[in-house]
Amino acid sequence: MTEHITKRSRNRNGLLPYLIVSPYLIHLLLFVLFPVVFSIVLTFHKWNIISPMEYVGLDNFKRLIQDRLFWKAILNTLQFLLVHIPLQIIAALALAYFLNQKIFMRPFFRAAFFMPVVISGVVVTILWQQLYGLETGLLNRLLIGLGLNRVEWLSNPVIAMISIAIMATWKNVGLYVILFLVGLQAVPRSYYEAAEVEGATAWQQFRYITLPAINPTIFMVVILSTIGGFSLFIEPYIMTDGGPLNSTLSAMLYIYKQAFGYYHMGYSVTLGLFFALIIVAVVVIQKLAIEKQD
Amino acid sequence: MAVIKFEHVTKNFGKITAIRNVDLEIRDKEFMVLVGPSGCGKSTLLRMIAGLEEISAGSLYIDGQIVNDLPPKDRDIAIVFQNYALYPHMTAYDNLAFGLKIRGFKKSAIKEKVLEAARVLEIEPLLDRKPKAMSGGQRQRVAIGRAIVRDPKVFLFDEPLSNLDAKLRGQMRLEIASLHKKLQATIVYVTHDQVEAMTLGDRIAVINQGEIQQIDTPQNLYNFPKNRFVAGFIGSPPMNFIDGVIRRSAKGLFFEDSSGALYAAAPQALEAYTCRNIVMGIRPEHLHVRPEKEAERYASFNAEVQLVERLGHESFAFVRLHGTPIAARLAPEDAPEANTTMTLYAAIHRMHFFDKETGKVIA
Ligand SMILES: Nc1ncnc2c1ncn2[C@@H]1O[C@H](COP(=O)(O)OP(=O)(O)O)[C@@H](O)[C@H]1O
Ligand SMILES: [Mg+2]
């Protein structure tokens, strides 16, 4: 019966269904399928965009394995994530917790924390560059004003990546605040009331009711900020260009430089694919860890 | 010991007055039921006892001490919520143990108390299950378990049975009644179901629109409602109300309904209402197909039968007296046929008379 109808309508409508889905198909072909196939082809070639491609076999992979700077960039990125993810979760959860209370001008604050998310990353980075300025930056002036030592926010190789992690956290926190707010508001009030009658303090209510209840949100935020953190690019690109001493060279920035700094297209694509595998591996490990905890 | 006393208590939510000038004293070890239609303020009253709702005006006493500003945890009460509010990520055992853990009891003492409560409620097999893996009735038991495990002096129940099916509700009703005997504690129980109220309460407070209409024993509420609201709320099907006037004749005062089809001798107390409109109320069970007892007086009237409900052990006839709907509870063999005319006998000494404007009972 169904078969019969499908057949008939196909005959009757001819190409129309294909026409209707064609914009999506064209998009898929042009921007997804083609780049994927092309980049896989590229990994076996040397290409500088201008001269023709040259087949090099597995040379790109061999080079990757020996490329100490690439591994440093990966380590830098992981170091960034190590600071960024916990900071992101704690900051977002704390803000969401307070924005969920009956506080003064709540709608204003809720909107205010979301602002940096929608502001262009370039603008945010330039703004923070000013804040982090060694001599004239607001942060150092405050520190000096308080009688403390100034901090080499961006020029000390140990601190620079942490500074970038703080900035990235500030930029994205609004998004995760919203996710946490949704999670917090889904907890029925009567849970808290029951706990209050039983004598639980605010901290105990948070620890034994709120945290378990928003566990799924926390995991979502971990995974989202991992994926987002791996693509760290604009901040070091504008602020430090990967310096000092390559301490803020992120994997994405290094891949970009290989492609558009040195025009090593084949090599950069190889790095990109390899990096994508690392991201997938990390997220899968996180997911397995989460499922095990459950 | 736990005596709870409301003194001129008012509760406003912004511009809404949810509770208006309530005076109510709940005695030690009493089972007090707060009953009324949805939105009348029952939960608000209960939550004020728990300390979950601030009191806008007036005083609340527990055992003679003003508790307006006392935090919930210091009131020695337990509350069972309508939606149970069991912590979803904890097992039944942990749900029961939570309050004890918070209060710093030793592990062994907690275990002893939890197992004892579980035994009383027969929920031992559920102890390592999470709420998700329980039926509504089982969750209900665990929620009650969580309340009794701390052995508080007051138990508060907010419509605890409203999420259960009819059969389970009947069964839990009996269990809560026997639990009250066992626990020897003061219980305040909120419901909108008058059957629950009548069967459970030592006394019942009937509430409407934030005001207490009447506080009395179930039997007294049924026999002597103070106003038309209480008369209509207690009893099912509800009391019939018939508009009419009080007139005077040579034999004394009598009530005449507005269609002129029903006459009944009226008490002398209604003298002041002579020639004034009033409302007469009579319960369905006090209408009969024939005079029941020789010593009593009846007022007979003819009515058109609209609908008959046969329940096996009894039947309800829904009739009309010139447009006024009237329900009569009859023996099965007395049930009339629909779309016929029947004669009903109203027991005169069972009639209630209400002021038409104020709704207050006048005789
Ligand atoms: N938190 C609140 N904010 C505003 N109005 C409320 C709040 N809680 C209850 N009310 C109002 O107070 C009245 C009584 O509510 P409630 O005590 O819950 O009624 P019941 O339990 O008898 O159904 C209702 O009109 C309700 O809308
Ligand atoms: Mg309620």
Write the pLDDT tens digit of every residue in B9-64: 999 999 999 999 999 999 999 999 999 999 999 999 999 999 999 999 999 999 99
Question: Which one of the ligands is nearest to B207 CA?
Answer: 1
pLDDT at A9: 53
Confirm or reject contact between A216 and chain B (CB < 8 A): no
Question: What is the reported pTM?
Answer: 0.83
Write out the two tokens for B223.
């026999």
Are the C-beta atoms of residues B103 and B87 closer than 8 Å to each other? Answer: no
User: Do B14 and B79 fall within a single domain?
Assistant: yes
**Nearest chain B alpha carbon to A204:** B102
Chain B interface includes A209 (CB < 8 A): yes
What are A181-231's pLDDT values in tens digits?
A: 999 999 999 999 999 999 999 999 999 999 999 988 998 899 999 999 999
Higher pLDDT, residue A5 or A257:
A257
Task: Calculate the alpha carbon distances from B80 to A180, A273, B73, B85, B246 in Å.
Answer: 29, 57, 15, 8, 49
Instruction: Report the distance separating Cα A205 and Cα B102, nearest Å.
Output: 10
Among chain B residues, CA nearest to A193: B52
**Total count of domains within chain B:** 2
Q: Rounded to the nearest whole angstrom, what is the distance from the C-alpha of residue B80 to the centroid of ligand 2?
A: 12
φ, ψ for residue B288 (rounded to 5)?
-130, 165
- State whether residue A208 sits within 8 Å of chain B by CB: yes
Query: In terms of domains, do A96 and A240 share one?
Result: yes
Per DSSP, the residues of B142-154 read HHHHHHHTT--SE
* C-alpha distance from residue A255 to each of A51, A117, A250 (Å): 21, 25, 9
Residue nearest to atom 12 of ligand 1 (CA): B18
Decide if pLDDT at A1 tops 50: no
Last residue in a domain, options B233, B254, B285 = B233
Q: Please identify which residue in the block is written with the tokens 């907690």.
A: B110
pLDDT at position A7? 54
The answer to whether the CB atoms of A193 and B85 lie below 8 A apart is yes
Render pLDDT for B302-360 as a digit per residue (tens, 0 to 9). Answer: 999 999 999 999 999 999 999 899 999 999 999 999 999 999 999 999 999 999 999 99
**ipTM for the whole predicted complex goes beyond 0.95:** no
State the smallest CA–CA distance between residue B299 and chain A in angstroms.
Answer: 54
Summarize pLDDT for A164-182 with one digit per residue, the tens. 999 999 999 999 999 999 9
The domain boundary residue, chosen from B215, B233, B251: B233
Q: Are B298 and B291 in contact (CB under 8 A)?
A: yes
Residues B119 and B258 both lie in one domain: no
Residues A163, A126 share a domain: yes
In a shared domain, residues A167 and A234: yes
- Tell me what the mean pLDDT of segment B199-209 comes to: 96
Q: With a cut of 80, say whether residue A5 has pLDDT above it.
A: no
E strand or H helix at A52? none
List strand residue ranges (DSSP E) for B54-165, in order. Answer: 57-62, 65-66, 77-80, 154-158
CB-CB: which of B81, B88, B99 is closest to A198? B99
Query: Using 50, 70 and 90 to split pLDDT, how confident is the model at A112?
Result: confident
Question: Pick from B85, B89, B102: which is nearest to A200 by CB?
Answer: B102
Nearest to B94 by CA among A218, A198, A196, A214: A198
Q: Is residue B128 part of a domain?
A: yes
Chain B residues within 8 A of A195 when measuring between CB atoms: 87, 98, 102
Q: Tell me the nearest-neighbour CA distance from A293 into chain B, angstroms.
A: 13
* First-last CA distance in chain A: 45
Contact B85 A199 (CB under 8 A): no
Number of neighbouring beta carbons within 10 Å of residue B289: 17
Residue A193 lies in a domain: yes
Q: What is the CATH number for B22?
A: 3.40.50.300
The pLDDT score that the predictor gives to residue A4 is: 54
- Residues A48, A228: Cα–Cα separation, whole Å: 29
Amino acid identity for residue A165 in this structure: A
**What is the rounded distance in angstroms from the CA atom of residue B361 to the CA atom of residue B226?**
5
pLDDT tens track for B149-174: 999 999 999 999 998 888 889 999 99
For A205, the domain range is 68-293
A279 domain-assigned: yes
Q: What pLDDT score was predicted for residue A8?
A: 54
Q: What percent of chain B has pLDDT over 90?
A: 90
Q: Is the pLDDT of residue B240 over 90?
A: yes
Average pLDDT, chain A: 90
Best interface-test mutation with B: which of A193, A196, A198 has the largest number of B CBs within 10 A? A198
| 3-state DSSP assignment of residue A292 | helix
User: What would the pLDDT profile of A15-52 be if each residue is shown by its tens digit?
Assistant: 888 889 999 999 999 999 999 999 999 999 999 888 88
- Rounded to whole angstroms, the Cα distance separating A144 from A189 reads 46
- CATH number where B273 lies: 2.40.50.140
Closest-CA residue, ligand 1 atom 5, reads B13
- The CA B28 to ligand 2 mean position distance, Å, reads 24
Residues B270 and B322 grouped into a single domain: yes
Q: In total, how many domains does chain A have?
A: 2
Query: Which structural domain, as residue segments, surrounds residue B180?
Result: 4-233
Residue A294: pLDDT band (50, 70, 90) is low
